[in-house]
Amino acid sequence: MANFQYDLLVIGAGPAGESAAISAKKNNLRVAVVDGQASLGGNCAHKGTIPSKALRNAVKQAIRMSNQPFAKRMMLHQELNYPQILAAVNDIIPKQVELHSEYFIRNKIPIFNGFAHFVNKNEVEIAGPHGLKDRVTAENILVATGSRPYRPSNIDFNHPRVFDSDTILQMNTTPSTIVIFGAGVIGCEYASIFAGLGLKVDLINSRDRLLSFLDDEISDALSYHLRSSGVMVRHSEIFENAEYSDKGVTVHLRSGKHISADALLWSNGRSGNTDALNLEAVGLAADSRGQLKVDQSYRTETPNIYAAGDVIGWPSLASASFDQGRSVVDAILGREVRFVEDAPTGIYTIPEISSVGKTESELTAAKVPYEVGRAFFKDTARGQISGEDEGMLKLLFHNQTREILGIHCFGAEASEIIHIGQAIMQQAEGANTIDYFVNSTFNYPTMAEAYRIAALNGINRLMRMR
Ligand SMILES: Cc1cc2nc3c(=O)[nH]c(=O)nc-3n(C[C@H](O)[C@H](O)[C@H](O)COP(=O)(O)OP(=O)(O)OC[C@H]3O[C@@H](n4cnc5c(N)ncnc54)[C@H](O)[C@@H]3O)c2cc1C
C-alpha cells in the first residue's frame, strides 16, 4: 500500500476547505491545507462575503443615522464617501484573518502557502513565494479553490474606471454615477450600497426581472425599493461594447441605449478557479465556467479527488460551502453524506431578503394546493419601535395539511428571521405546520411576532375559502 504523507490534502482555505480540514482533524485524519494567499480566510474573507457585508453595514448605519429625528434636527448630515466606508472593510479583514488563523493553529493543521497543481491523482506541487517548490502526497485531495469574477475579453479591466467585485474594493474615489452590468445577487447588493451612498446607479439586467429565482412578490418588492432609492433598473439588455475616457465609461447596449457613468462595475458571472490546477494530470476537465462536476458525495470522476464550494457551482454561497466541506469528510470516512440542497437564500440588499423552500410559481407549476399568510413589518410593534418597518414575511403552506412549504422575507434582519421558520419547516411531518406559530408564545416585541401574524392571516384566509 502506498505511503502517503496525508489522508487528506485540501486545496483552498475558504469556507469549504477550512470546514473540511477541521472536520478531518477532529476525525483523526492526517490533513494539510494549501492556499495561494498569504493570509487565511479564502476569498470569502478577503474579497467576497465579508468585505461586501462590511460595506453594506457601514452604509446602512449611515442611512439609519441620517434618518434619526435628532440628526435631522441638529443637521448632523455628513456626506459619506466611498474611501471612508472602505475603512470598515479594512477593519474587518484582519479580524477575520486572525479568527481563521486561530482555527488552524488550535487544530494544529499544517498550512502550505503557495499555488497548487496536480502532478498525479495523489500528488500535488506547490509553487510557494520566492520560487520555492514543494511536493505533497495524499490519499484524498479536496479541490476547494473557489471562484473569481468572470472577465469577458471585450471589457478593458485595466482601465482605472472599470471594476469587478474584487477590484471595487480598491476604488479610491467616490464616483457620482456608476453603471452596474449584471443584476444578480452581487450586482443588486452593490446597487444598494452605492445608492445608499447617494450615487446615481444604473443597474443593467440581462433578464426580464430581478433575481428571478425569488418569489415574484419579493422580486417585485426589491425592484420597487431599488427604484425608490434612486437606482435605474433596466431589464432584458444585452451588452454590445464599452467606450472609455479619463472621465468614465459609456456602455453601449444592443437595444441602442448608451449609458455613461463615472465608473463601471462588471458583475456578470463568475468562473471556478480550476485553470491552474493541471486537471489533465488527474483525468479531469472543468466545464466552460471552470466548474467541476461532482456526485452526491462531492466526489469528482476521479474517485479520490473531491470538490466543494464555489468550484462546483450552485449555490455558490459561503453558508453552503461550510457544510459541503464537512460532507466531504463524511464521504471519505464512508459515513452518510448530506448533499447540501436546502440552503436558504440570504441577499444583503437594503432592505435585505431571505427565503427558504418553494416559491408561489413553483408550487403553482407543481399543482400543489397552497395558501398564503402575510405579515407586514409595519404591523409589528418591534418594526414600529425600531423604525425599520418596511418589509414583509410571507408563509406558503399546504391548504390541507398546513405544512409549511416556503418562507419569503423582505426587510430588516430578514436573513436572521428566516431561520425561525426554517427550523419549523424541518420538523417531522405533523410538527412542520403553521400551527406552531399560533400555538407558541413568542417574546414581545420581536420580529418573530411576524410569524404569528402571518400564520393567523393564512388561517383566516383558509377559513374564508371553506
Ligand atoms: C461580492 C460577494 C458577496 C458575497 N456574499 C455572500 C453572502 O452574503 N453570503 C454567502 O453565503 N456567500 C456570499 N458570497 C459567496 C461566498 O463568498 C463564496 O460562496 C465562498 O467564498 C466560497 O467559498 P470556497 O470555500 O469555495 O472558496 P473561496 O472563499 O473562494 O476561497 C478559495 C481559496 O482557494 C485559494 N486557491 C485558489 N486556487 C488555488 C490553488 N491553485 N492553490 C492554492 N490555493 C488556491 C484562493 O486563494 C482562496 O483563498 C459572496 C461572494 C461575493 C463575490
What is the DSSP annotation of 114-143? Answer: SEEEEEETTEEEEE-GGG-EEEEEEEEEEE
Tens-place pLDDT, residues 277-290:
999 999 999 999 99
Is position 433 within any domain? yes
Residues 6+ apart with CB under 8 A from 363: 370, 396, 405, 406
313 lines ligand 1 (CB under 6 A): no
Domain-ending residue, one of 268, 299, 317: 268
Q: Are residues 359 and 416 in the same domain?
A: yes
Tens-place pLDDT, residues 172-190:
999 999 999 999 999 999 9
Segment among 111-120, 347-356, 378-387 with least mean pLDDT: 378-387
pLDDT over 70 (residue 73):
no
Segment among 143-147, 282-286, 347-351, 386-390 with least mean pLDDT: 386-390
First and final C-alpha spacing in the chain = 70
324 lines ligand 1 (CB under 6 A): no
CATH number at residue 211: 3.50.50.60
Residue 411 is classified by DSSP as: E
52 lines ligand 1 (CB under 6 A): yes
Tens-place pLDDT, residues 150-173:
999 999 999 999 999 999 999 999
Output the CA 138–ligand 1 centroid distance in Å: 23
143 lines ligand 1 (CB under 6 A): no
Cell numbers found for residue 426: 424541518
Please state, for a pLDDT cut of 70, what percent of the chain lies above it. 97
49/79: higher pLDDT: 49
Predicted TM-score (pTM) of this structure:
0.95
Which residue, 211, 235, 212, 453, is CA-closest to 348? Answer: 211
For residue 74, name the pLDDT band (cuts at 50, 70, 90). low
Nearest CA to ligand 1 atom 8: 49
85/258: higher pLDDT: 258
Average pLDDT of the chain? 94
Q: Are residues 446 and 317 in the same domain?
A: no
Q: Are residues 21 and 140 in the same domain?
A: yes
pLDDT over 90 (residue 131):
no
Supply the pLDDT for residue 3: 84
Q: Are residues 16 and 121 in the same domain?
A: yes
Residue 73, phi-psi category: left (phi > 0), alpha (psi -120 to 50), beta (remainder): alpha
Supply the pLDDT for residue 463: 87
Tens-place pLDDT, residues 134-145:
999 999 999 999
Which string of b and e fits 274-306 if b means at least 16 CB within 10 Å? Answer: beebbbeebebebeeebbbebeebbbbeeebbb
What average pLDDT does this structure show over 299-323? 97
Q: Are residues 181 and 194 in the same domain?
A: yes
Supply the pLDDT for residue 65: 76
Is position 189 within any domain? yes
Residue 73 is classified by DSSP as: H
Is position 428 within any domain? yes
CA angle 58, 62, 63 (to 5 degrees): 120
For residue 328, name the pLDDT band (cuts at 50, 70, 90). very high
Q: Are residues 144 and 15 in the same domain?
A: yes
Residues 6+ apart with CB under 8 A from 230: 195, 200, 201
Supply the pLDDT for residue 318: 97
Provide the domain limits for residue 141: 6-50+90-149+271-332
What average pLDDT does this structure show over 1-23? 94
Which residue, 428, 425, 429, is CA-closest to 455? Answer: 425
272 lines ligand 1 (CB under 6 A): no
Cell numbers found for residue 310: 464555489
Is position 193 within any domain? yes
Tens-place pLDDT, residues 234-248:
999 999 999 999 999
For residue 232, name the pLDDT band (cuts at 50, 70, 90). very high
Nearest CA to ligand 1 atom 27: 146
276 lines ligand 1 (CB under 6 A): yes
Supply the pLDDT for residue 120: 98
What average pLDDT does this structure show over 28-42? 97
12 lines ligand 1 (CB under 6 A): yes
Supply the pLDDT for residue 388: 84
pLDDT over 70 (residue 448):
yes
Give the position, in ligand 1's atom list, of the atom nearest the Cα of 40.
49
Residue 19 is classified by DSSP as: H
pLDDT over 80 (residue 66):
no
Output the CA 150–ligand 1 centroid distance in Å: 14
Residue 111 Cα distances to 18, 66, 104, angstroms: 11, 45, 8
DSSP helix/strand/coil, 226: helix
Domain-ending residue, one of 268, 291, 306: 268
Is position 126 within any domain? yes
Q: Are residues 233 and 259 in the same domain?
A: yes
Ligand 1 pocket test target in 321, 323, 354 with most atoms within 8 Å of CB: 321
Supply the pLDDT for residue 342: 87
pLDDT over 80 (residue 427):
yes
* Radius of gyration (C-alpha) of the chain in whole angstroms: 24
For residue 71, name the pLDDT band (cuts at 50, 70, 90). low
Supply the pLDDT for residue 68: 64
Segment among 53-62, 67-76, 187-196, 420-429 with least mean pLDDT: 67-76
Is position 392 within any domain? yes
Nearest CA to ligand 1 atom 15: 317
Q: CA-CA distance, 65 to 250, in Å (whole number)?
A: 34
pLDDT over 60 (residue 461):
yes
Residue 347 is classified by DSSP as: E
CATH number at residue 408: 3.30.390.30
pLDDT over 60 (residue 58):
yes
Q: Are residues 228 and 122 in the same domain?
A: no
Q: For the chain, how many structural domains are there in total?
A: 3
What average pLDDT does this structure show over 92-106? 96
Listed in order, strand segments (DSSP E) in 205-282 are: 231-234, 239-244, 249-253, 258-261, 263-266, 270-272
pLDDT over 80 (residue 319):
yes
Is position 381 within any domain? yes
Q: CA-CA distance, 74 to 72, in Å (whole number)?
A: 6
Contact in structure between 10 and 19 (CB atoms under 8 Å) = no
Output the CA 14–ligand 1 centroid distance in Å: 6
Supply the pLDDT for residue 332: 98
Backbone phi, psi, residue 301, to 5°: -70, -15
Q: Are residues 367 and 433 in the same domain?
A: yes
Supply the pLDDT for residue 19: 98
Q: Are residues 118 and 237 in the same domain?
A: no
Nearest CA to ligand 1 atom 49: 42
For residue 334, name the pLDDT band (cuts at 50, 70, 90). very high
Q: CA-CA distance, 94 to 92, in Å (whole number)?
A: 6
Q: CA-CA distance, 412 to 192, in Å (whole number)?
A: 14
146 lines ligand 1 (CB under 6 A): yes
Q: Are residues 257 and 277 in the same domain?
A: no
Is position 343 within any domain? no
Listed in order, strand segments (DSSP E) in 87-213 are: 111-113, 115-120, 123-127, 133-143, 147-149, 162-163, 177-181, 200-204
pLDDT over 80 (residue 466):
no
Q: Are residues 144 and 10 in the same domain?
A: yes
